């Protein structure tokens, strides 16, 4: 019997390489696909859904913060366990269902501008698919409210043929952004100004007869107040959404990076139309958000972009809301 056992063991050992070579072929291939990305919660009587347009890779962070010391950028990123050589933003669009109206805030990059739609790489343009995955049809949207008219916020208003993706929606945008981003005379300065203006013209013109102009302090829908926060663009607006005694501040592009621009709110960002005004607006509004303790949705912060702003030293800290919180505000 011992001989038999030894033979069994030897046999099993001898078979191992065969198993590795043969059965190992059953190893699953990497899938590399992404799950649908939407997140739903309540705010008072309203139902809200954050829908992702995918990630927006900026690449090396230094060019995005041209006036900031590179060693300070690296130190802040490293201290927060973020790669020092690649800054990646999210794109968190919001759908608000008030029970009477369905409002989409910002559209993501879309596919309306061909190669320019992929200027930040292939990871953007997922909003329409994620919207449908969340059970919302684009034709159900009554109003698209734009924080501003940049590519990653309004280029999915139309498809590649210029046809409206939201056939029953009005579009709310500030008059300042509408004028600025549809004026060929502003095609100067950084290279991105040419595609940014061409894209805004194509997307906004398709809704020419159904535009609503945002005004500072005024409601675009019951409980939804636009607040002028200029600098990133001339007409950038945030939206304060209130239901009952709960408030969510949809901050748009008030701050693009949850570490760099919260710890250093006065740092300048390369895609700002007026970086100095943007820094002042950011400082002032972050102070208000921290003091009033409002829940915040930030378009470019880590998915799904929900959390709070707290004071930290001479700047601020982003405190993400747990995903299992079903009611914010
Ligand atoms: Zn943006």
**Quick check: is 326 in a domain?**
no
- Residues around ion ligand 1, judged by CB within 5 A, are 152, 253
- How far is the centre of ligand 1, averaged over its atoms, from the C-alpha of 2 (Å)? 73
- 3-class SS of residue 157: coil
Is 184 within a domain? yes
Q: Could you tell me which residues come within 8 angstroms of residue 304 by beta carbon, excluding any fewer than 6 positions away? A: 37, 39, 50, 52, 92, 297, 323
Specify the pLDDT at position 2: 46
Question: For residues 214 and 209, what is the distance between their CA atoms, to the nearest angstrom?
Answer: 15
CA of 18 to the centre of ligand 1 (A): 54
How many Å lie between the centroid of ligand 1 and the Cα of residue 295? 19
Flag whether 3 is in a domain.
Answer: no
If you measure from the C-alpha of residue 46 to the centroid of ligand 1, how many angstroms do you get, rounded to a whole number? Answer: 25
The per-residue pLDDT for 23 is 57
- Angstrom distance (rounded) from CA 264 to CA 27: 47
**pLDDT tens track for 89-121:** 999 999 999 999 999 999 999 999 999 999 999
Q: Considering the domain boundaries, does residue 28 fall inside one?
A: no
Q: Which residue shows structure tokens 């405190």?
A: 319
Distances (CA, A) of 296 to 83, 85, 96, 126, 134: 25, 28, 14, 22, 21
For residue 42, the CA-to-ligand 1 centroid distance in Å is 25
CA pair distance 294, 309, nearest whole angstrom: 8
Q: Which helix (H) or strand (E) holds 103?
A: strand 102-105
| 2 falls within a domain | no
Tell me how far the alpha carbon of residue 89 lies from the centroid of ligand 1, in angstroms: 9
| Dist. CA 30 → ligand 1 center (Å) | 31
Per the structure, the count of domains in the chain is 1
What pLDDT, on the 0 to 100 scale, is given for residue 1?
Answer: 42
- Say how far apart CA 220 and CA 217 lie, in whole Å: 10
Length of the chain as a residue count: 329
Interval between CA 16 and ligand 1 midpoint (Å): 54
Model pLDDT, residue 129: 98
299 CA to centre of ligand 1 in angstroms: 7
Dump the DSSP string for 36-98: --EEEEEETTEEEEEEE---EEEESSGGGSTTS-HHHHHHHHHHTT--TT-EEE--EEEEEE-
**Residue 66 within any structural domain of the chain:** no
DSSP string, 247-260: EEEEEETS-S-TTH
Which residue range(s) make up the domain with 113? 35-56+89-320
Distance CA 328, CA 40 (A): 11
Q: Which helix (H) or strand (E) holds 220?
A: strand 219-221
Query: Ligand 1 center to residue 253 CA distance, Å?
Result: 5
**Stated pTM of the model:** 0.91
Q: Which segments in the chain show pLDDT lower than 50?
A: 1-2, 4, 7, 9-15
Residue 250's CATH number: 3.60.15.10
For residue 143, being part of any structural domain is answered with yes
- What separation in Å is there between the alpha carbon of 300 and the centre of ligand 1? 7
Task: Kindly give the distance from the C-alpha atom of residue 92 to the centroid of ligand 1, in angstroms, as a whole number.
Answer: 10
Of 220, 231, 327, which is closest to residue 284 (Cα–Cα)?
Answer: 231
State whether the Cα torsion 275-66-113-132 is positive or negative. negative
Centroid of ligand 1 to alpha carbon of 152 (angstroms): 5
Residue 163 sits at φ, ψ, to 5 deg, of -85, 140
326 alpha carbon – ligand 1 mean position (Å)? 26
Ligand 1: centre distance to CA 219 (Å): 23
Structural domain contains residue 128 = yes
Per-residue confidence (pLDDT) for residue 24, from 0 to 100: 58
CA 4 to ligand 1 center in whole angstroms: 71
């Amino acid at each position: 019997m011992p001989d038999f056992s030894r033979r069994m063991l030897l046999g099993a050992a001898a078979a191992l390489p065969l198993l590795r070579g043969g059965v190992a072929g059953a190893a699953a291939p990497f899938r590399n696909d992404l799950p649908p990305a939407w997140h739903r919660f309540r705010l008072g009587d309203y139902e809200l859904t954050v829908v992702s347009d995918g990630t927006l890779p900026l690449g090396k962070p230094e060019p995005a913060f041209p006036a900031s010391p590179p060693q300070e950028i690296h130190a802040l990123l490293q201290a927060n366990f973020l790669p020092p050589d690649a800054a990646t933003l999210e794109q968190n669009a919001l759908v608000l269902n008030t029970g009477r109206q369905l409002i989409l805030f910002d559209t993501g990059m879309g596919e309306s501008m061909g190669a320019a739609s992929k200027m930040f790489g292939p990871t953007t343009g997922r909003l329409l698919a994620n919207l449908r995955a969340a059970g919302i049809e684009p034709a159900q949207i009554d109003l698209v409210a734009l924080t501003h008219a940049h590519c990653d916020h309004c280029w999915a208003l139309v498809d590649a043929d210029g046809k409206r993706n939201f056939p029953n929606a009005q579009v709310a945008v500030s008059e300042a952004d509408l004028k600025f981003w549809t004026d060929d005379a502003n095609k100067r300065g950084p290279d991105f100004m040419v595609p940014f203006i061409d894209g805004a013209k194509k997307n906004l013109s398709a809704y020419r007869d159904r535009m609503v102009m945002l005004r500072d302090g005024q409601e675009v829908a019951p409980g939804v107040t636009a607040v002028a926060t200029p600098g990133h663009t001339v007409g950038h607006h945030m939206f304060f959404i209130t239901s009952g005694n709960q408030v969510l501040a949809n901050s748009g592009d008030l701050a693009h990076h949850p570490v760099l621009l919260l710890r250093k709110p006065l740092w300048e960002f390369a895609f700002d139309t007026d970086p100095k005004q943007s820094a002042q607006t950011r400082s002032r509004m972050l102070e208000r958000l921290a003091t009033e303790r409002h829940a915040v949705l930030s378009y470019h912060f880590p998915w799904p972009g929900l959390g709070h702003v707290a004071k930290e030293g001479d700047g601020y800290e982003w405190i993400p809301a747990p995903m299992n919180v079903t009611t914010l505000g």
